Amino acid sequence: MNSESKLSQKANSSFTMDDFAQALEKHDYQFQKGQVVHGKVFQLDPDGAYVDIGGKSSAYIPRDEASLRAVTDLSEVLPLHEELEFLIIREQDAEGQVTLSRRQLEIQHIWEKVAQMQENSQTVEVRVTGVNKGGVTVDFQSLRGFIPRSHLAERDNLEALKGHTLTAGFLEVDRNNKKLILSQRLATRSSNFSLLEIGQLVEGKVTGIKPFGVFVDLNGMSALLHIKQVSQKFIESLEKVFQVGQTIKAVIIDLDEGKGRVAISTRILENFPGEILENLDEVMASAEARAHRAANKAAE
């Protein structure tokens, strides 16, 4: 063989090897833990299933990673030759095989759903599974959550709550740290909020008096009657006008469900500046008619 043909053969051989390497590279997918992939189950065995996800070698999904619910028949949750989504939970081993999960993918979707629910201030039904000194543990769609004692309606006999279903709102949703904290009080507040509207006359009990205003309990929800909203006349001391435990009527002037704030006013019930200070009982007794008149005036 002359030197020219040898060179030609070497060039061809080199091209073929490069081409082969490129072809290999093209099909050598870099599968990583945490990645969501599509694949088809092509073989079932008693402990799991083999899945084609387009790699050089097949992937494997263990039986206990097939679904969140208990599985008796794998073919029900992993039908053959049907394209499904999987989460990679272990990277390639020595044979290039990755380990997959459908169960953990379902859990991921639940966390996403819970975050959305929190954003929308939604309430949910949760089942109490355990009790400790600080509160109760609950189960929500296979996620483990916690309701602190201070956020429960029943705070004294926590043991009695075991096995019961509670309505709760989301206080903290932290998927990275698997932290799910809920509140029964938040759910009560949310349902109460839906009954309120600006301009509505409400009745509540005075729970606290501060220099800046009066706190009033409206069916378990705290409202603020700011000092400037008490009367059209300047007030030196709120304690001379109100007492803790006293029932009063007022009109809602502002609502902020996100922050759980309700602002109320008695000044718009007055017929003249300072009437609240001079004859509070008379203003309260005819509050409905006064609120109605104030609403008509505002609509003009």
CATH at 175: 2.40.50.140
Tell me: do 208 and 175 sit in the same domain. no
CA pair distance 255, 215, nearest whole angstrom: 15
Q: What is the mean pLDDT of the chain?
A: 86
- C-alpha dist (Å) from residue 287 to 140, 143, 201, 231, 280: 45, 49, 8, 14, 10
Give tens-digit pLDDT for 233-282.
999 899 999 999 999 999 999 988 766 689 999 999 999 999 999 999 99
175 within domain boundaries: yes
Same domain flag for 184 and 203: no
- 217 and 284 share one domain: yes
For residue 94, is it within any domain?
A: yes
In a domain, 253, yes or no: yes
Domain that includes residue 86, residue range: 38-101
Q: pTM for this one?
A: 0.58
Residues 103 and 61 sit within 8 Å (Cβ to Cβ): no
pLDDT at 231 over 60: yes
| Percent of the chain whose pLDDT exceeds 70 | 88
Both 223 and 180 in one domain: the answer is no
Q: 187, 168, 179, 75: which is closest to 127 by C-alpha?
A: 168
